[in-house]
Amino acid sequence: MDYHLSMLEKKGLIDREAKKSRGIKLKNQSQIYGIQVMGSIAAGEPLEIFSEPVEPLEVGRELEQQGAYALVVKGQSMIEDHICDKDYVVIKPQATCENGDIVVAVHLQGNGRATLKRFYQDKEHNRVRLQPANSTMDPIFIPKSEWDQEWQVQGKVIAIFRKCRAA
């Protein structure tokens, strides 16, 4: 822990007062950047996309520079990947992904309903599998022909944030 605090101090991000238990202060607020929270995403059955922006989520510059946006998770289907209800997932917009990536999958024919799942191409059965990270839930199987015409990947999860309430 001291190593990490020393590195933050060296980068000029914090000031520390020696021998003081709560002697850490943010030094340079200009190093904090925000990305837009674009609504919510279902971690369960696909829900309608909610696209009304709310207050920005404070993140590092590297996430902001990737054109990322955030979504609030609703549901429990990704809990074994440590993505819980009310967490924020940071999404890098992209239409492609690799097997095993956590993606925002949108059903275009279903009024733009979207879900957060792990993506797998099951070539043996000629289908796409959207896999929840919750052993009590079943995957969503989509025939490849239906996937190509009715579904798309909107983006890939690149970070997860959890806001904790002050005690």
- Active-site amino acid positions: 77, 117
Pairing of strands 127-131, 140-143: antiparallel
114 vs 108: CA distance, rounded Å: 9
Q: Which residues pair with 72 in a beta bridge?
A: 40, 88
67 vs 91: CA distance, rounded Å: 9
Nearest one of 141, 90, 134 to 119, comparing CA atoms: 141
